[in-house]
Amino acid sequence: MQTSLPSSSSSNAKPEMKEHCSHRKDCLKMIQLILDGEATDQQLARLKVNLESCQPCIEMYHLEKEVKELLTKRMEKRCCPEQLVATIKSKILRFS
Amino acid sequence: MNSLRIAYGKRQFTLTFMATIHEVMSDTPTRDDDQLLPDGDSIDQPSADTPSRGYTDEQKYQIFNKEFMPHIDSMYNFAFRLTTDEDDANDLVQDTYLKAFRFISSFEQGTNAKAWLFRILKNSFINDYRKKSKEPAKVDYQDVETTYNSEDAEAEHTVDLRAESVSDLIGDEVATALNSLPVDFRTVIILCDIEGFTYEEMAKILDIPIGTVRSRLHRARNLLKEKLRDYASSMGYNEENED
């Protein structure tokens, strides 16, 4: 089973790093709640523990964070065309 | 059976364990998806109590300019992401703002104008544009959801992708991946990740329960990651250093 040990070099002080997570789907849901700012304190505490002890959770966390940042920061934001703003304003004035 | 368990030991264990966890968490969405897409122009009744506010004309223009217009860039982006067409986006934004003005008496001054406007835009899109849109709408949300609810999907719920593989993707690639998702999935990602709405606001904008927001978002992200993975691997970002 244990063919590769990633970071557990020599120190025994650190908690055992889990190579496999047996509830990835639920962990993933929890990670998304946390990144969306919708998690409870309890869920936050649970993630904190997982991020110290569960390799798959660490990787999922980084991936989810990266994908969210791609969407928030790297997508082109367009401005509404001036012409459209002008049209809307003039139509509104003719309303009532 | 025993040999099966040896061969697929890990997976079997995973599946049974997950089922238990799932019961405990019990966050399965309520399945009232038939009321997902109200046919009527439901913006006319934004909430149970819709007191018609007797705004004067002056107040109406003030609300329109101070509370509605500041969101026009966000609205335009939303419209463009939904329609993926500049002319359609123009029409959709214009229709939405005119509607918003017409029904301004059902808007309570000082409340969440952005969510209110997004809800009108979303409904206009469904009622007026989606029908005539040329997008492959055959991939219906319900179908996709069923696919992703199947046992196979359970086993494959996490997309095999590394953060480093996507970190070099550029905006255009992300946009293309996003645009290739069925519109219902695309919508939740836009609202949550691009526009920063809370789950509660999204539930109101989309007229669905919060549990459905959560699960649809989860599935949408899995789909998006699959698309991103395809991109990343086609670009050669995907190293195969499985040790």
- Does B104 score more than 90 pLDDT? yes
- On chain B, the residues whose CB falls within 8 A of the CB of A4 are 243
pLDDT at A96: 57
Binding-face residues of B in 113-152 toward A, CB within 8 A: none
Query: CB B21 to CB A71 under 8 A?
Result: no
Residue B50 near residue B190 (C-beta atoms within 8 A)? no
pLDDT of A16 over the 90 cut: no
Q: What's the structural domain count of chain A?
A: 1
Of B18, B90, B192, the CB nearest to A36: B192
Query: What are the pLDDT digits (tens) for B70-84?
Result: 999 999 999 999 999
Question: Comparing A60-64, B6-10, B25-29, B149-153, which segment has the lowest mean pLDDT?
Answer: B25-29
Q: What percent of chain A has pLDDT over 90?
A: 53
B55/A contact by beta carbon, under 8 A: no
CATH fold of B136-234 reads Arc Repressor Mutant, subunit A (1.10.10)
CA distance A86 to A80: 11
Higher-pLDDT residue of A46 and B25 is: A46
Strand partners, B154: none
- Containing structural domain, residue A29: 24-93
Q: Domain B54-129, what fold?
A: Rna Polymerase Sigma Factor; Chain: A (1.10.1740)
- Is residue A65 within 8 angstroms of chain B, CB to CB? yes
Residue A11 lies in a domain: no
Please count the other Cβ atoms lying within 10 Å of the Cβ belonging to residue B202.
24
Using the Cβ of A37 and the Cβ atoms of chain B, whether some distance falls under 8 Å is answered with yes
Separation of alpha carbons B109 and B90, rounded Å: 26
Q: Which residues of chain A does B172 touch, with a Cβ-Cβ cutoff of 8 Å?
A: 76
Residue A16 lies in a domain: no
Q: What is the mean pLDDT of residues B191-208?
A: 96
Q: What is the pLDDT of residues B123-139, one digit of tens each?
A: 999 988 776 655 544 45
The ipTM value here is 0.81
Task: Test A80 with B22 for CB contact under 8 angstroms.
Answer: no
pLDDT band for B51, please (50, 70, 90 cuts).
Answer: low
